[in-house]
Amino acid sequence: MFNDLKGKRVLITGSSMGIGLAAAQAFAQCGAKVGLNGRRAPDNLADLLAGMHVHGGEAGFFAADLSRTEECEKLVSEFVARFGGVDVLINNAGGLVARKPLPEIDDAFFDAVMDLNVRSAVMMTKFALPHLKAAAQASGQTSSVIGVGSIAGHTGGGPGASLYGVGKAALHNIQKNWVDYHSQDGVRFNVVSPGTIDTAFHADKSAKVKAGIASGIPLGRLGSAQDCAAAFLFFASHACSGYITGQILDVNGGQFKP
């Protein structure tokens, strides 16, 4: 079913590790041309890129801090210069920045969380949209923008994560507007919304704390980055999801049921 991803140009933000990297590797296995991104290159970049060429895929790394609008514009330009266009954009860069309860929230923290989680996705989508539209016109297939939401966008977030939850809820919501006003461009908009996925995101948690979280998840374990990857392939593939837009796919082992 994912055969149509061969040769597609897929830009994945925040993909030097974790959920974004696992998605990038899955796309490369399908023969896609993949843009990796982070603020800095991972130490094992050469090995990662080589591994992604093995199955007919192709990958390049583009450093950019996407909490800054000008870096979003630069990333899209550099990706298009390398691969000639954009068929799929995955707005995956995001994070807590820090955990701060309400009394500790100040303007700088508010801006940092919103810049990383919301501004980055809005600006990346804005700059990529003309390319996504052109790709849809050229191929006769829909292009795809995939946001990365969170269980926190449904529940409000854990301790000190209220603004993060707000930012993820914004991503769950904003695509409703984009569906109404940009479907005519041949672009679909969907969100993958992970539960507790065992990545560096949870590096502050002990094994005991993680086991406690796992005991509350119906499928009995934390998710892995690989558990999320097929959801991105599904939303990216016109053959699989060409008539699906404006949806949220929760990947959480039953942890939360909207």
Any idea which residues carry the catalytic annotation?
164
Phi-psi region of 159 (alpha: psi -120 to 50; beta: other; left: phi over 0): beta
**What phi and psi, each to the nearest 5 degrees, are found at residue 194?**
-75, 155
Site for ligand NAP contains 67 (CB under 6 A)? yes
Site for ligand NAP contains 65 (CB under 6 A)? yes
Site for ligand NAP contains 19 (CB under 6 A)? yes
Q: Which stretch binds ligand NAP (CB under 6 A): 33-41, 82-90, 127-135, 232-240?
A: 33-41
> Which of 146, 187, 197, 231 lies at the binding interface for ligand NAP (CB under 6 A)?
197
Nearer CB in complex with ligand NAP: 1/200: 200
Nearer CB in complex with ligand NAP: 186/195: 195
Site for ligand NAP contains 14 (CB under 6 A)? yes
> Which of 201, 232, 234, 235 lies at the binding interface for ligand NAP (CB under 6 A)?
201
Q: Which stretch binds ligand NAP (CB under 6 A): 2-10, 26-34, 78-86, 189-197?
A: 189-197
Longest Cα separation, the chain? 52
Distance CA 70, CA 84 (A): 20
Closest to 67 in 3D by CA, of 97, 42, 104: 97
Q: Which stretch binds ligand NAP (CB under 6 A): 91-99, 101-109, 205-213, 229-237?
A: 91-99
Tell me the one-letter amino acid at 145: V
Nearer CB in complex with ligand NAP: 16/25: 16
- Provide the minimum distance between the beta carbon of 65 and ligand NAP in the complex, in angstroms, as a whole number: 5
Closest to 244 in 3D by CA, of 257, 258, 228, 231: 231
Which parts of 214-253 interact with ligand NAP (CB under 6 A)? none
| Chain contacts with ligand NAP (rule: CB under 6 A) | 13-20, 37-40, 65-67, 92-95, 116, 148, 150, 194, 196-197, 199-202
